[in-house]
């Protein structure tokens, strides 16, 4: 068989291989996108309720809340029970917040980003928590690290779009002390008791009921 005929016979094989490869790439892309959308829908439909799934006790202890967790895990274990390192940030409205100034009340620090779907799904729950407990019982401070994918302008636009009713600060990561500067997974929340100690740190999506129960529970 001549070389030209051999080359001619190879074209159908090459064409079929290209089609199969292209189909595989498209299928994989669609599969990933579908999985991401499904995950976002799961977070978006988390009901804003003061009840906690699996807990009937109206005033559950911290250990009971942790045992029934579904969408989050305990994080930064070695810091729990220790004094929260002090820091100062300026919120989007220009107000300066120093953590130690809130000694005597509960504090919830929420670390998030505008591109984080679980963070977005948590916003209605945090807003409801602020409304229920009020500023006197709880100070909520949302902290978003400024990065090329999370610009100050995007953070401001997000806060306006979602009508956030709690303080939001945008700051460089390197201006925060550990363990806050070490956060990788978000949403990440630190619950600080009136004495200024870290009661609990969580990584993942919290419901309104879980947030409220953690704030009102006694430190371990």
The mean pLDDT of the chain is 84
Q: Which residue has the tokens 């001619």?
A: 8
Q: For the ranges 42-51, 93-102, 194-203, which has the lowest average pLDDT?
A: 42-51
Examine the pLDDT at 25 and tell me if it is beyond 80: no
Examine the pLDDT at 41 and tell me if it is beyond 50: no
pLDDT, average across residues 140-164 = 97
Examine the pLDDT at 160 and tell me if it is beyond 70: yes
Q: What is the pLDDT of residue 1?
A: 53
Q: What is the pLDDT of residue 48?
A: 72
* 160 burial via Cβ count (<10 Å: 0-12, 13-18, 19+): exposed
CATH of the domain spanning 62-216, picked from 3.40.30.10, 3.40.366.10, 3.40.50.2300, 3.40.1160.10:
3.40.30.10
Give 44 or 65, the one with higher predicted confidence: 65
Percentage above 90 pLDDT, the chain = 70
Task: Give residue 72's pLDDT band: very low, low, confident or very high (50, 70, 90).
Answer: very high
Q: What is the pLDDT of residue 59?
A: 78
pLDDT, average across residues 99-116 = 97
Examine the pLDDT at 82 and tell me if it is beyond 90: yes
Q: What is the pLDDT of residue 104?
A: 95
Q: What is the pLDDT of residue 53?
A: 65
Examine the pLDDT at 24 and tell me if it is beyond 50: no
Q: Where are the domains of the chain?
A: 1-45, 62-216
């Amino acid at each position: 068989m001549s070389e030209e005929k051999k080359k001619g016979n190879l074209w159908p094989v090459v064409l079929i291989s290209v089609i199969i490869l292209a189909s595989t790439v498209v299928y994989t892309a669609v599969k990933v996108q579908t999985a991401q959308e499904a995950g976002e829908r799961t977070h978006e439909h988390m009901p804003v309720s003061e009840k906690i799934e699996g807990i009937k006790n109206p005033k559950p202890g911290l250990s009971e809340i942790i045992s029934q967790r579904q969408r989050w895990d305990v994080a930064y274990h070695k810091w729990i029970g220790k004094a929260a390192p002090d820091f100062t940030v300026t919120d989007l409205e220009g107000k300066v917040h120093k953590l130690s100034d809130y000694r005597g009340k509960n504090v919830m620090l929420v670390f998030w980003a505008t591109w984080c779907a679980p963070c977005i799904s948590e916003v209605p729950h945090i807003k409801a928590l602020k409304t229920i407990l009020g500023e006197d019982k709880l100070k909520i401070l949302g902290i978003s690290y400024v990065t090329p994918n999370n610009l100050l302008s995007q953070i401001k636009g997000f806060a306006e779009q979602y009508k956030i009713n709690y303080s939001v600060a945008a700051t460089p990561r390197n201006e925060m002390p550990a363990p806050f500067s070490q956060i990788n997974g978000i949403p990440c929340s630190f619950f600080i008791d009136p004495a200024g100690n870290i009661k609990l740190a969580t990584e993942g999506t919290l419901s309104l009921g879980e947030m409220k129960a953690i704030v009102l529970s006694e430190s371990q």
